[in-house]
Structures are given as C-alpha cells and as structure tokens.
Structure 1
Amino acid sequence: MKFRRKPRENVDINLASLIDVIFILLLFFVVSTTFTRETQLKVDLPEAASGAPREDTALKQMEVVIAADGNYSLNGQVLVKSDLEGLMAALGQASEGDNSLPLTISADAKTPHQAVITAMDAAGKLGFAHLRIATVEAEAAQP
C-alpha cells in the first residue's frame, strides 16, 4: 500500500518583529547606560606639623596635582604628556604668560620625589614666584 505524502510547508519566521525588539532593547541599553570619565586624580596629601591655611583670593589660581604614579593634572585636567616639556607647555597656556599667579602643587604622599621636583622646575623655568606645596595637618601624637 502506497501512502501519499503531504507536501512540506515552508516555515517562515517573521524577522521584522524580532528586529524591532532588538532595536528597542538596544535603545534601552544606550539610554540607561552611564559613562563615567575619571578626570580627577585621587591624591592623599602628605602631613605637616606646621603650615598656613590656604587663603581664598579673587585672583586666578593654578593647581598642579601629582598622582602617586607621577601623572600630572593642571586645574583638574589630566595632562597627556607627564614630563617637563608637557607640564611647561600646559602651565604656559593656562597662565597665558602671567607668572605672578599663585601656583599650588598638591602631590600624593607616595609620589616619587622626582615628579615634585619636575613640577617645581617647570614653575621655576616659567618664572612663577608664588609657589605653594599643599599638605594636610598632622594629627597630634597621643601621650
């Protein structure tokens, strides 16, 4: 006995609705994702037993922050070139040639000494006279 075979039906999957769902998911993830960009260097300042508090003046102030690994940041902007020439170029551009501005160097307690000397050398070569090194007040020793 010979049975008749049914012809196979082609099964089609409608991809249009699947593509719509994928695009909606993509849009959701793009909108809900937050991109953080770290521009500030985290610095633990060294301690000092004596010192003067920082004065708030109306003058434009410049601050060089040196991270523990020796990377420089000028007024909150991380410098691409962390060497003497890069720091001098950034200081000259930010100060617009005015070397009478007060300059504060904030170095991490674990920063290599050479990085601090490089920052001081750059300031000296550009003629900055008002130079400060930021510290935190040391805690009094318990007797």
Structure 2
Amino acid sequence: MNFRKGRIQEEPEINFIPLIDVLLVILIFLMVTTTYSRYAELQINLPQAEAEKPVDKPLELSIGVDANGRYVINDKQVAFSSPESFSVEMKKAAGNQKDPVVIINADAKATHQSVVNIMEAARFAGFGRITFATQSTGQ
C-alpha cells in the first residue's frame, strides 16, 4: 500500500563540506608530521681536479678615436682614409692572430661615424669580436 500518494520522494543529498574539512585536517596533519631529508647535512667529499689555467689569452686590438677624429691602433697613431685601408692597418697590428678582440676606445665627444668607421674596418678585416671600453661614473 502506498500511503504517500501524491508526495514527491526527495533524493538523498550528500553534504561535501564536512568531507572537505576532514581532508584538510588530514592534509595539515601530514604536512606537519612529515620529515624532509636535508641534503645540506650530508657529508660529501667532492673530487678534486688540478688543471692548468689557459695561457693563451686572445690578442686584443685597442683602437682609439678622439673628438678630433684621430685614430690610434695599440698606441700608434694611424691615418684614416677609408675603412679598407684602415682594415689593412688593423691586420698588420693583429699579426698572425686570426680573430682578435677589437676594443673600441671612443672619446665621449667623438662622432658616431668615426666609431662606425672602425666597425666597418673590422668587418673588412674579418674581425667579428668587437667590444667597447667604457668608464664608470664613480657613483
């Protein structure tokens, strides 16, 4: 016999909030009680190697240009007529080194074109490693 005619049966519902609370308590408990291994406390004997420092230091070509447009290669003044002729002078200064480091020491008031001329001459000479020397302001 069905005495509850016309009444809709309610579906049972599961409340997840207490389940989440219990899982968080378990997670906190596991985090607090877990011990982590500390690698800093291990006694490690590292291997030792004895190697000589390289004695070959790459040749550095120091090229300077001042505000008046005078060029210097390794403290020797060189006249600049074109990037091609200047590249020949750079090759002479480099000697038998294939790719020396070109250090450009440009005056702060030197024209931008004079620095570009040095870079262009280095390109003609086949020197790809170029760096610029700077001076710190002392702050």
The alignment's TM-score, normalised by the length of structure 1, stands at: 0.52
Q: In structure 1, what is the Cα distance between the partners aligned to 2:79 and 2:116?
A: 19
Q: Deviations over 1:39-62 (max 9, x none)?
A: xxxxxxxxxxxxxxxxxx733211
Partners of 2:76 and 2:114 lie apart in 1 by: 17
Match of 1:119 in 2: 118
CA distance in 1, matches of 2:131, 2:98: 14
Calculate percent identity across the aligned residue pairs: 26
Give per-residue Cα distances to partners, 1:9-49, cap 9 Å, x unaligned.
xxxxxxxxxxxxxxxxxxxxxxxxxxxxxxxxxxxxxxxxx
Contact 1:62 1:75 in 2 (8 A): yes
| Matching residue of 1:8 | none
- Matched-pair contact (CA < 8 Å) for 1:68–1:109: yes
Aligned 8 A contact 1:79 1:86 in 2: no
Kindly state the Cα deviation for residue 82 of structure 1 after the two structures are TM-superposed: 4.5
Q: Which residue of 2 aligns with 1:76?
A: 75
Deviates more, 1:65-74 or 1:89-98: 89-98
Letter in 2 for 1:73: V
2:68 is paired with a residue whose SS is coil
Cα RMSD after superposing both structures: 1.9
Q: Secondary structure, in 3 states, of the residue corresponding to 2:86?
A: helix
- The structure having more radius of gyration, on CA atoms, is 2
Conserved in 2, the CA contact under 8 Å of 1:71 and 1:82?
Answer: no
Per the alignment, residue 104 of structure 1 pairs with 103
Is 1:135 the counterpart of 2:131? The answer is no
- The structure 1 segments of at least 4 consecutive aligned residues displaced by more than 6 Å after TM superposition are none
Q: CA deviation at 1:94?
A: 1.4
Q: Structure 1: where are the runs of 5+ without partners?
A: 1-56
Q: How many aligned positions are there?
A: 84
User: Residue 97 of structure 1: CA displacement?
Assistant: 5.5
Q: Which has the higher contact order (CA 8 A, sep 6+)?
A: 1
Task: Tell me how far apart the structure 2 counterparts of residues 78 and 65 of structure 1 sit (CA, whole Å).
Answer: 9
What does the per-residue CA deviation read over 1:72-125, in whole Å, with 9 as the maximum and x for residues that have no partner? 100010003353233111011112353421110000000010000000111122
Verify the 8 A CA contact 1:63 1:103 in the aligned structure 2.
yes
Q: Give the alignment of 1:31-110 within 5 angstroms.
A: 58-96=57-95, 98-110=97-109
